[in-house]
Amino acid sequence: MAPATDLRAIFFEEAEELLIALDAGLRRIEGGDSGGETVNAVFRAVHSIKGGAAAFGFANLVGFAHSFETLLDDLRSGERAADAVLVAALLDASYHLADMVHAERSETPLDQAVQQRAHEALLAVQDAASQRISIEVPFAAVPMEFAPLPVAEKLFTVDFAPHADAFSAGHDPALVLRDLAALGRAEVTLDQSALTEGFDPSQCLLRWRVRLETDRDEADLRAVFDFIAGHCDLSIREGGADAAPAGREEVSPVAEAAPRPATPARQAAPAETRPEGRPEGRAEPPAPPRATIRVDVDRVDRLVNVAGELVIHHAMLAEAIVRSGRRAETDVERSLDQLKQLSRQIQDSVMAIRAQPVKPLFDRMHRILREAASVAGKQARLVIEGETTEVDRTIIERLADPLTHMVRNAVDHGIERPETRRAAGKTETGVVTIQAAHRSGRIVITLSDDGGGINRDRVRQVAVERGLIPATAELSPSEVDALLFLPGFSTATEVSSLSGRGVGMDVLRSEITALGGRISIASQPGKGTALTISLPLTLAVMDGMVVEAAGQVLILPVASIVETLRPESGAGHRLGAMDPVVELRGICLPVIDVGAALGFRDAPADLAGRICVVVERDDKNTVALLVDAIHDQRQIVIKSLEDNYGHIPGIAAATVLGDGSVALILDPVELLPGRSLLKPPAAPAPAGTARPPIAAE
Amino acid sequence: MTIATGPLHPESALGATTPELREFVVFRTLGQDFCIDILCVREIRGWTKPSNLPHAPAFVEGVINLRGAIIPIVDLADRLGLSAIAEDERNVIIVTSLGEKVTGLVVETVTDILSVPAADIQPVPDLSSDELRAVLRGLVVHQGRLLRLLDIAAILGPELAA
Amino acid sequence: MKRSDLKVVVVDDTAVSRGLITQVLDWLNIEGYRTFSDGRAALAGLAAAPANLVISDYYMPEMDGLGLLERVRKSRGLERTGFILVTGRADPAMMAKGRALGLNNLINKPFTKEQMRNCIEAVVGPL
């Protein structure tokens, strides 16, 4: 029979989970854990995918999964050890299985040749001896004599109080009671106390209590009341009634308001009074598993925006109260403070909804690495650190491509061939490490390899050949490394099949920049290369210091501020014509005049009478930012400038102040002393608009 | 029984003429009259002092807060190569949307909303300066006034945030 | 056996397989069924309210289908429960063990609705 389409959707959803379990299990096996439960879990994953695929007629998938399963059976039975060859074959098979599932899901068939190669590769690792002959032995059915099932009867107490308007809404309580009684043995008690002299017979003023012994469950009982649900008060409890008289808990307000007693108008059900039984003991329901819900991302995003507005309007309200001169009133002050706490909590909770650990993203890189290594004829393994670091989901989604490129680059250009590594005294298998961490209110992701490092002589040579730098240019090692990010630079003298589909570092950099992030490179000859991406935690609220420079109100992220100092007259030194430095406990820090760096004033201002805010940039360099005044420190909501305008060098984002005006948030890293931020300077300073790379270790 | 006379399908009669009518927001800046397609206009609001943007072209006055969104404010006269208009609280901001981007245009005053038959839009004569011609889609003569029909896409092109 | 009286418990760790089985039960107009995603939950459910027939997958985490059968046969009041094992790979060892534990029937995946009906009827009699 053709399975329903919703089952099909469930199959693909479950297959996705099974593939993740399969991947995790195989990597445990790769790591040396070939314990029974690990192998069984892997086997079950493949087996369940096969079973589902069979029901939907995905013949190729079934065939492949069957061979996969057979190989796993050898492992399970102990006939095969989990050696490197077998594990490699199993990993490859799992990737192909994933591809096949995705192909069926998207209804875009895989290339036949690819499928055949994958299947042959899988069969090749099977021992000929273990090729099982499957014998179809029919199972002889054993008929069963059935005794009537013992009926597990339960006692329910149902209090049913139709609203006064139940009759006019077309309901007949008698019919409802009859249906209820049909579910088991019922004892019905009528409460007619609301019937008073001269009552309105068009109103339903009666209430009933029903004791029902039945094998049905509560949902079945409730179903009886489906139609009248909006016109009655209803209580259904398992067990006998407590000592309270019928109708006490579920008093209909209309009935209460009814006039004096009179004779009953009609009796809808047999009424019989009996002594109330004691309630039967009821077991506590088992704790349900932690519940999750799926929510449309748009809804969360709307909530994020509204929560941001709330924070801004708190600030506006606070300012308005100050202007009204009523701030001193303590209850106003206290309420305002509580409002601030609450809006911050709402903000944090909302952001937490969107935050997700980077683990699933990083886990996907195992496959990328394996395939890249296989094509390049190299050996490499992936080490993941900090995978529980949480990032906004929009960032996670958009990081997949850049990260893939970085992993491929690391294998392609970083890790050496096994023989080269051996000659250099390294292990044949190279190590690529991905790390994630929060630093200075940003997320920092580092991808490092233990390969040969950047061949700076060749990089220089290529840059000269391509006319990117003059042959006479004098570049520091880190400046040479940064040449890799220049458009039009490609290190590949030998273009591998991977580079062919990979991308240049310039594309990688623009991908990261588009996320509001930065990328830098550090390399040590013979030891390896590290790429560091630093990304903002978008849409978050952050603590900002409100400063003023050249008449403009600007925000500095508090997380990056080390300290502030007021240079005394003459404390600053000028090196050359432009770049002043200031001394802080014996260390000279470059001073960046914020007003001048942003072009709000022409000449750099005198240090005297101004304030230096010392900031640590996330590339770990420390600089002093010169501002005219510090106004305030407060929480601010980050607003995108890119949405309606575009990226401005030196500006991270914008925010709305309490008076409704816009203040720009400075990006300390992009503020460089003595350099125009508007246009990249001419070569040989490729790091002009970008940051200088991390100094080579 | 009588049968109703007059137009049998008033809706279709209306529908037949509607496509030919175009609606424009008419405004004035530096003494000249302009109009833009009403479909580009999200709202018209009073003047708010923008915050300066570094490294922005001169005609970008800065950014303002529009109900939580940060939008750039462009001095239209300056953008058109006339001179910048004086900062004045009586100026108004026409909030336009082009694709996903929202931009405010500062002008001296909004005078009218006009329905004009499409056939009445005249081509731009050759004598106009190249700079102006690049941002004009046509001319509309209305009650003796010459309205320059602006091409919003050309005005708020990619060079805005460059 | 009247199909309206038949109480069935379906056990499978994947929602797809549960759905494929209950789809057949729906087609057979068997209304009295409950589903469980693992053997332990199924045992608890059977203890609370017995059933005439258990249709269970073989490969499940923690407790496999034969493990469930063994526990059902040992549970007081559940001895007379019919048990059908659903499997994608029936090997002779599994069948022998099933027979020893009193398995009533076995069906291979994938199955058609007619195959499943025949399999059920072979245990409970014509529906």
pLDDT digits (tens, 9 = 90+) for C63-75: 999 999 999 998 8
Q: Pick from A44, A52, A142: which is nearest to C16 by CB?
A: A52
Share of chain A above pLDDT 90, in %: 16
In chain C, domain spans: 8-124
Q: What percent of chain B has pLDDT over 90?
A: 35
Instruction: Say what the pLDDT of residue A575 is.
Output: 53
CATH classification code of C8-124: 3.40.50.2300
A309 in B contact zone (CB under 8 Å): yes
- What is the pLDDT, as a whole number, of residue A679? 35
Predicted pLDDT of residue A136: 60
Structure tokens at C76: 């007081």
For the residues B52-67, what does the mean pLDDT come to?
90
Give CA separation, A359 vs A241, A351, A354, A531, A542, in Å: 53, 18, 15, 19, 25
Lowest-pLDDT range of A141-145, A594-598, B100-104: A141-145
**Res. A108: pLDDT tops 80:** yes
DSSP string, A112-173: HHHHHHHHHHHHHTS-GGG-PPPP-PPP-----PPPPPPP--EEEEEEEEE-TTTTTTT--H
Residue A491 has pLDDT above 60, yes or no: no
What pLDDT does residue A688 have? Answer: 33
Task: Please determine, for residue A503, whether its predicted confidence score (pLDDT) is greater than 50.
Answer: yes
Structure confidence at residue B19 as a pLDDT band (50, 70, 90): low
Tens of pLDDT, residues A319-337: 888 888 877 777 888 888 8
Chain A residues touching residue B101 (CB < 8 angstroms): 643-645
pLDDT digits (tens, 9 = 90+) for A649-680: 888 889 888 777 899 999 877 776 544 333 33
Which pLDDT score is estimated for A96?
93
Q: Do chains A and C touch (3 or more CB pairs under 8 A)?
A: yes
- Average pLDDT, integer, range A388-396: 83
What is the mean predicted confidence (pLDDT) over B63-84? 88
Question: Could you tell me what percent of chain A has a pLDDT over 70?
Answer: 78
Residue of A nearest to C125 (CA): A143
A304 vs A689, higher pLDDT: A304
Does the structure show a pLDDT above 80 at B158?
no
Question: Is the CB of A602 inside 8 Å of chain B's CB atoms?
Answer: no
Minimal Cβ distance to B65: which of A649, A661, A678:
A661
Of the pLDDT bands very low, low, confident and very high (cuts 50, 70, 90), residue A98 is very high
> What average pLDDT does range A129-145 have in this prediction?
68
Point out the residue among A598, A643, A650 whose CB comes nearest to the CB of B69: A643
B29 within some domain: yes
What pLDDT sits at residue B104?
95
* Local structure of C48: helix, strand or coil: helix
What is the rounded distance in angstroms from the CA atom of residue A52 to the CA atom of residue A45?
11
What does the pLDDT read at residue A677?
Answer: 37
Contact A47 C89 (CB under 8 A): yes
pLDDT digits (tens, 9 = 90+) for A593-644: 898 888 888 776 677 788 889 887 655 567 889 999 998 887 777 888 888 8
Cβ contact B162–A646 (<8 Å): yes
Q: Which residue of C has its CA nearest to A17?
A: C14
Per-residue DSSP letter, A682: P
pLDDT tens for A274-294 read 444 444 444 444 444 556 777
Chain C within 8 Å of A58 (Cβ-Cβ)? no
Beta-carbon separation of B55 and A598 below 8 A: yes
pLDDT at A502: 43
Q: Residue A196 corresponds to which tokens in the numbers above?
A: 């008073």
Residue A244 has pLDDT above 60, yes or no: no
Q: Taking residues A355-362, what's their average pLDDT?
A: 88
Tens of pLDDT, residues C3-16: 778 899 999 999 89
Confidence at residue C1, expressed as pLDDT on a 0 to 100 scale: 65
Q: Do A662 and B72 touch (CB under 8 A)?
A: no
A552 at the B interface (CB within 8 A)? yes
Given CB atoms, is A472 within the 8 Å cutoff of chain B?
A: no
Write the single-letter amino acid at C42: A
Nearest alpha carbon to residue A438 among A389, A366, A504, A383:
A389
Which residue from C minimizes the CA distance to A216?
C49
Range A449-467 average pLDDT: 86
A342 touches chain B (CB under 8 A): no
Tokens of A176: 């409802």
Query: Is B13 a domain residue?
Result: no
A528 shares contact with chain B (CB less than 8 Å): no
- Among chain A residues, CA nearest to C93: A137
Can you give the pLDDT at residue A268? 42
pLDDT score at A573:
61
B48 and chain A: CB distance < 8 Å anywhere? yes
Binary contact (C95, A14; C-beta < 8 A): no
E strand or H helix that includes residue A303? helix A297-324
Using CB atoms, pick whichever of C23, C49, C105 lies closest to residue A4.
Answer: C23
Q: Is A395 exposed, middle or buried (0-12, 13-18, 19+ CB in 10 A)?
A: buried
CA angle C95, C96, C98 (to 5 degrees): 65
Q: With an 8 Å Cβ cutoff, are B68 and A648 in contact?
A: no
Helix ranges (H only) for A31-110 are 36-55, 59-76, 84-106
Q: How far apart are CA A343 and CA A340, in angstroms?
A: 5
Which residues in chain B have Cβ-Cβ distances shorter than 8 Å to A662? 50-51, 62-65, 70
How many angstroms away from the CA of B64 is the closest CA of chain A? 6
Q: What is the pLDDT of residue A273?
A: 40
Which residues in A lie closer than 8 A to residue C105 (C-beta atoms)? Answer: 139, 141-142
CA distance A501 to chain B (A): 30
Tokens at A226, concatenated: 């489906």
pLDDT of residue A193: 83
Q: Mutating which of B42, B45, B51 best tests the A interface, going by the most A Cβ atoms within 10 A? A: B51
Chains C and B touch (3+ CB pairs under 8 A): no
Average pLDDT for A362-391:
90
pLDDT of residue A512: 80
Angle between helices A84-106 and A5-30 (to 10 degrees): 160
Per the prediction, chain A carries an average pLDDT of: 78
How many structural domains comprise chain B? 1
| Residues in chain A within 8 Å Cβ distance of C124 | 143-144, 146
Answer whether A663's CB lies under 8 Å from A557's CB: no
Instruction: Give the Cα separation of A445 and C57 in Å (integer).
Output: 44
How many other β-carbons are positioned within 10 Å of the β-carbon of residue B88?
10
The more confidently predicted of residues A372 and A270 is A372
**What is the mean pLDDT of the segment spanning A146-167?**
80
- pLDDT tens for each residue of A418-439: 999 999 999 999 999 999 988 7
Compute the average pLDDT of residues A337-342: 87
- Average pLDDT in the C82-88 region? 92
Give the mean pLDDT of B73-97. 89
Nearest residue of chain B to residue A658 (CA atoms): B65
Is A419 exposed, middle or buried (CB count within 10 Å of its CB: 0-12, 13-18, 19+)? exposed
Say whether pLDDT at C31 is over 80.
yes
Nearest to A209 by CA among A262, A123, A295, A277: A277
Looking at beta carbons, which residues of chain A come within 8 Å of B65?
A: 639, 656, 660-662
With an 8 Å Cβ cutoff, are C52 and A146 in contact? yes
Residue B36: which domain range? 18-157
Query: In sequence order, what are the residues at sequence separation of 6 or more whose Cβ sits closer than 8 angstroms to the Cβ of residue A292?
Result: none
Are A600 and B52 an interchain contact pair (Cβ–Cβ within 8 Å)?
A: yes
Tens of pLDDT, residues A36-61? 888 989 999 999 999 899 888 899 99
Tell me which of A10-19, A559-568, B86-95 is least confident.
Answer: A559-568
Are A628 and A613 in contact by the 8 Å Cβ rule? The answer is no
User: In a 10 Å sphere around its CB, with 0-12 CB exposed, 13-18 middle and 19+ buried, how is residue A82 labelled?
Assistant: middle
Residues of A whose CB is below 8 A from B49: 661
Model confidence at A362, pLDDT cuts 50, 70, 90, reads very high
Q: Residue B55 belongs to a domain with what CATH number?
A: 2.40.50.180
Q: What is the pLDDT averaged over residues C85-92? A: 85
Instruction: Say how many residues make up chain C.
Output: 127
Chains with ≥3 CB–CB distances under 8 Å to A? B, C
pLDDT at res. A133: 53
* Torsion-angle region of B67 (φ positive above 0: left; ψ -120 to 50: alpha; else: beta): left
On chain A, the residues whose CB falls within 8 A of the CB of B69 are 639, 643-644
Q: In this structure, is residue B130 part of a structural domain? A: yes
What pLDDT score was predicted for residue A269?
A: 42
Assigned domain for B4 exists? no
